[in-house]
Structure 1
Amino acid sequence: MGNWLLNELPKWILFTAWLALNIALFVNTYLSYMADKYVYLRVLIGHGLPFARSSAYIINVNSMLILLPVCRNLISFLRGTCGCCTRVRRQLDRNIIVHRFLAYWICLLSIIHTGAHCYNFEHFVLAHHSSDGLVQTLSNLPDGPNPIKEPNSDAIKALFKFIPGVTGIVLVLALVLMVSSSTNFIRRSYFEVFWFTHHLFVIYYIAIVIHGMQGVVKAQTNIDVHDPNVCRDQYDGGWGTATCPIPTFEGSSGSSWKWVVGPFALYLLERCVRLYRSFQPVTIHKVVKHPSRTIELLLKKPGFHAEVGQYVFLHCPKISQLEWHPFTLTSCPEDENISIHLRIVGDWTSALAMACGVDSDQQPEKLPRLAIDGPFGTASEDVFNYPVVLLVGAGIGVTPFASVLKSIWYKYNDENVQLKLEKVYFYWICPDTMSFEWFADLLKSLERQMVAKGLPQFLDYNIYLTRGWDANQARNIVLHEEAVYDVVTNLRHKTHYGRPNWEQIFSAMAAAHPATKIGVFLCGPKVLSPTLRQLCNRHSSVDTAGARFYFNKENF
């Protein structure tokens, strides 16, 4: 069955702790609204209020937590401080997954909260028409617990007369727009739509702070002289006796700001750091045009240092004053320049290519000014913590491994560096032959250097072509099967056609490396992630005598 706990236990410990916190806070808040000071409010609307307030409390807590995973500088700092604890670092790589999960959880809680308050307001209106004298009296008290004073009010229209109703609509609309525009299709095909709508979070947090400030929910303030449990039973058309004076009520001010002010201040600090970086000069040293509409930017920025596989956000004021786009660095720490490879596939990258003069024969009079925010840490930084690593890149997901492979080779040839890493397996799954071109040059260079050093077995790379060949190409491939170099990539290792047999690959690696920690690093589509994760769990030994596979995935 393998060692399932190896990759899954830390995740489930954190999830259980989070779930226990949510349940405990929900129950505690629910019970607090079952207190004596809310007896008369429950007479009017039943148990709708505890449900509404408990869900609101959990929304506040998770609105605090949801900001933390997107504080990229904080995550990178924590990755640095957790250098000796790989398991903790691996959980930090799930920051975007956690952010999305919390967003969906807030949406679910918002449905519960909104539904409970719609129920409450409907009962506030119905209370004016109740045959129960106590309910009528409570509804007609000038400062009583019923916020609706007009007997013939419409519950929906009444919501818009209160700050919680208006801000509630704003909150729901902001959530709907942010979540719906965050789908993979919108984010990848219309990044600008995602980027702009996601900044509605500013309105969301302003609205959530204002939401409860009007004090619509009122608690009884004189329960020391008017015990609602006693006086409710003694009610006989009115109050005013010595033992049961007229109850008084007061609304509480909102407390949401207490939950969000800290994380929001932290996020503002994060944005200030990004703003400062945006003014730091970045020089375009060189622009290289590669086949398949790929360009390489060679940049210089004073004081910039990045670890392997990290990514940055790129900003070009000439194209847009607001947009920042993430790109993985293909340079390594030992390189003199910062290098970024990007495919010209959208409006922004097309505009950048045009500004750099790569889409025309004319050179631009002046290269555009760029700004860099980052670098930010990823799972690839941990490749040097394992004696054996399996790198899996699918399509454009190969970009972080350009940095990784170069840095591995630099370190391997540096006599002053004690390298724990002994063996590298690299698998690249490509959709078509055009995907080979820019990355093949790097592999050719590494291949030549390994042969020259007498270490041809240090890097075991395998390229899989899943589609993109016709009948003529297939015949050409068969005719050159016995050639020294591959007909497609011109590399010594032959290209495979189809998809890898991962079961066979993992079995062979487990047999070849007993009693070894093997780091598995994936950068590619989501559909491949569960397959590799399950194989890591299944092929990991329960004891130290066998191989143990640690799954890592790039998330940004």
Structure 2
Amino acid sequence: MGNWVVNHWFSVLVLAVWLGLNIFLFVYAYLKYAKGDKYYYTREILGSTLACARASAFCLNFNSMLILLPMCRNLLSFLRGTCSFCSRTMRKQLDHNLTFHKLVAYMICLHTAIHIIAHLFNFDRYSRSRRATDGSLASILSNLSHHEKDGGSWLNPIHSPNMTVEYVTFTSIAGLTGVIMTIALVLMVTSATEFIRRNYFEVFWYTHHFFIVYILGLGIHGIGGIVRGQTEESMNESHPHKCAEAFQKWDDPDSYCRHPQFEGNPAESWKWILAPVVLYIFERILRFYRSQQKVVITKVVMHPSRVLELQMNKCGFRMEVGQYIFVNCPSISLLEWHPFTLTSAPEEDFFSIHIRAAGDWTEKLIKAFEQQHSPFPRIEVDGPFGTVSEDVFQYEVAMLVGAGIGVTPFASILKSIWHKFRHADHNLKTQKIYFYWICRETGAFAWFNDLLTSLEQEMEDLGRVGFLNYRLFLTGWDSNIAGHAVLNFDRATDILTGLKQKTFFGRPMWDNEFSSIATAHPKSVVGVFLCGPRTLARSLQKCCHRYSSLDPRKVQFYFNKENF
């Protein structure tokens, strides 16, 4: 537990502040509407559900203000650059942008449910009090619009006993926008489930853009002013503490109490979301501008296991290791943009990506390049954007773990190391790199075989053989491959990869790996970087906590996972 706190204290602090603000806003708004004199008469009709509806609305406004900010990729990249002198703990929070986006979305769903349920009770009570003929205060308040020429005095939005709740819902601004926003939210949340994102990305991509409908609806939701309170002038003339019990004498000219006057609350949601929406609009304009810059494809390589490598050039394109770009192919889809990690190094005169067939869009892109040699399909690129892998050279010791195509960010890092050593860069803080690549099939190792071979030779020529410790793990094999490997174990190079490092069969024993690294570097800060599945992430995260020392002067493991 102590190690977990050491590694995640700032994340816990951020979440605590966010949750604290949600609780504060809910309680503040609840007390305002449950105790405030201005809403005394409104509570006579609605009861405590008035306060529940308004408190959840406050929290909805707050979280709707936050929901777009984690999606401003250029803003996050800018903050990462300006935070280059901040501690790694501060910078790591930027890598949790998607997690925070999801948490805020869950909070919006929670308060939407509270808001809807509360208003269902509210409209039921509006309807019952409008039809009531018992002479109660609630019935008199509901009939005020019939006794006053000034339409601004009404309190109950159901103006006629024959008017149904459904009619009010679909004809009022608040009701109609509420229904539309709820439908948009349900579609966005359900289409964002992992199953749909992984298997039907296009459905997720298009449906998630209903956020525009949600934001527009939220901005105008409160214009109708259905929730009403007593006016200040009326409060001075007919305060509820003095006149509520004398409501039967309101029409008496000799009574000092008069009919209270009411006004709708002004729309407030737009004030919460205006700044984030403007910021996001600028973000999208910048993305569009950058995406329109010409991209020249200089080389196309088809690797085994249907992996396409694209090498490209673009005017003014500058990158750092481990960054990613968004790619669009207009001939396949005008609107779809997909993220890919850059596999080239900043020192190279081009930038490259490796694309594995993993869905309709990638299948179509690979086929387009297989069938058409010249001219190539037009490609648009937005980025690059920063990721956690940018910090790899900030650690004395780095553990790089890639699963399958998840090796791509580490290819960029290893290429950059190769260039740094070739040009005798002595400012490299990193003293040791442990690289683990886990693949299901032997063909995958061919993607970066040349790179690993070059690194082996370069380290040997420079007398830095111990700098890079890499291990390749094959998790899917048959008896023929295993038998062949056993028979040729004494060969100087591996029969599967041609490298001096032999391929391991099975999965890494992470406890053994972490234990040996902790023993070899008892006073170092070790950065653990993963691009792979959640199950592997959980295993590595547990090992980071287990093998980090509570003494900050001894070995510390910091877990970092690629998220985009």
Q: Shared fold (TM-score greater than 0.5)? A: yes
The residue aligned with 2:58 is 57
The residue aligned with 1:471 is 479
CA contact (8 A) 1:294 1:343 kept: yes
Q: Does 1:162 align with 2:162?
A: no
Alignment of 1:86-485 (within 5 A): 86-130=88-132, 131-142=134-145, 143-221=153-231, 222-236=234-248, 238-240=250-252, 241-356=254-369, 358=370, 360=371, 363-467=372-476, 469-485=477-493
CA contact (8 A) 2:250 2:258 kept: no
Say which SS state the counterpart of residue 393 (structure 1) adopts: strand
- Structure 2 counterpart of 1:345, which letter? A
Say which SS state the counterpart of residue 262 (structure 1) adopts: helix
Q: How far apart are 1:441 and its partner, in Å? A: 2.4
Partners of 2:421 and 2:256 lie apart in 1 by 87
Partners of 2:53 and 2:141 lie apart in 1 by 21
1:261-286 deviation per Cα after TM superposition (whole angstroms, max 9, x unaligned)? 11000000000001111211110111
The residue aligned with 1:26 is 26
Q: How far apart are 1:242 and its partner, in Å? A: 4.6
Q: How far apart are 1:239 and its partner, in Å? A: 4.1
Partners of 2:453 and 2:389 lie apart in 1 by 22
1:504-543 deviation per Cα after TM superposition (whole angstroms, max 9, x unaligned)? 1111111110111111111100112222112111211111
Percent identical among aligned pairs is: 51
- Structure 1 counterpart of 2:467, which letter? F
Q: How far apart are 1:452 and its partner, in Å? A: 2.0
Alignment of 1:503-522 (within 5 A): 503-522=511-530
CA contact (8 A) 2:178 2:221 kept: yes
The verdict on how the C-alpha distance between 1:261 and 1:300 changes in structure 2, with shifts beyond 3 A counting, is same
The residue aligned with 2:503 is 495
Say which SS state the counterpart of residue 160 (structure 1) adopts: helix
- Structure 1 or 2: larger helix share? 2
Unaligned runs of 5+ in 2: 146-152
CA contact (8 A) 2:251 2:258 kept: yes
The verdict on how the C-alpha distance between 1:2 and 1:446 changes in structure 2, with shifts beyond 3 A counting, is farther
Partners of 2:536 and 2:159 lie apart in 1 by 59
CA contact (8 A) 2:344 2:352 kept: yes
Aligned residue pairs total 551
CA contact (8 A) 2:130 2:156 kept: no
Q: 1:548 aligns with which of 553, 556, 564?
A: 556
Partners of 1:295 and 1:136 lie apart in 2 by 72
- Structure 2 counterpart of 1:141, which letter? L
Partners of 1:170 and 1:32 lie apart in 2 by 28
1:120-169 deviation per Cα after TM superposition (whole angstroms, max 9, x unaligned)? 00000111344352111101000321111222443344322311111111
Partners of 1:181 and 1:441 lie apart in 2 by 40
1:103-133 deviation per Cα after TM superposition (whole angstroms, max 9, x unaligned)? 1110111000000001100000111344352
- Structure 2 counterpart of 1:93, which letter? D
CA contact (8 A) 1:412 1:419 kept: no
Say which SS state the counterpart of residue 298 (structure 1) adopts: strand
- Structure 2 counterpart of 1:462, which letter? R
CA contact (8 A) 1:125 1:154 kept: yes
Partners of 1:487 and 1:377 lie apart in 2 by 37
Say which SS state the counterpart of residue 560 (structure 2) adopts: strand
Q: How far apart are 1:499 and its partner, in Å? A: 1.4
CA contact (8 A) 1:137 1:238 kept: no
CA contact (8 A) 1:6 1:550 kept: no
- Structure 2 counterpart of 1:56, which letter? A
Partners of 1:383 and 1:280 lie apart in 2 by 30
1:203-242 deviation per Cα after TM superposition (whole angstroms, max 9, x unaligned)? 1111011111001111111111111122112233644555
Partners of 1:500 and 1:351 lie apart in 2 by 35
Comparing 369-378 with 447-456, which one deviates more in the overlay? 447-456
Q: How far apart are 1:51 and its partner, in Å? A: 0.6
- Structure 2 counterpart of 1:279, which letter? Q
Q: How far apart are 1:175 and its partner, in Å? A: 0.7
CA contact (8 A) 2:404 2:437 kept: yes
Partners of 2:158 and 2:552 lie apart in 1 by 69
- Structure 1 counterpart of 2:256, which letter? T
Say which SS state the counterpart of residue 128 (structure 1) adopts: helix
Say which SS state the counterpart of residue 301 (structure 2) adopts: strand
The verdict on how the C-alpha distance between 1:345 and 1:289 changes in structure 2, with shifts beyond 3 A counting, is same
Q: How far apart are 1:42 and its partner, in Å? A: 0.2
Partners of 1:428 and 1:2 lie apart in 2 by 30
CA contact (8 A) 2:439 2:474 kept: yes
Q: How far apart are 1:191 and its partner, in Å? A: 1.6
Partners of 2:490 and 2:425 lie apart in 1 by 41
1:173-213 deviation per Cα after TM superposition (whole angstroms, max 9, x unaligned)? 11111111112221122221111111111111110111110
CA contact (8 A) 2:299 2:312 kept: yes
- Structure 1 counterpart of 2:488, which letter? H
Over the aligned positions, Cα root-mean-square deviation in angstroms equals 1.5
Partners of 2:553 and 2:69 lie apart in 1 by 39
Partners of 1:515 and 1:345 lie apart in 2 by 42
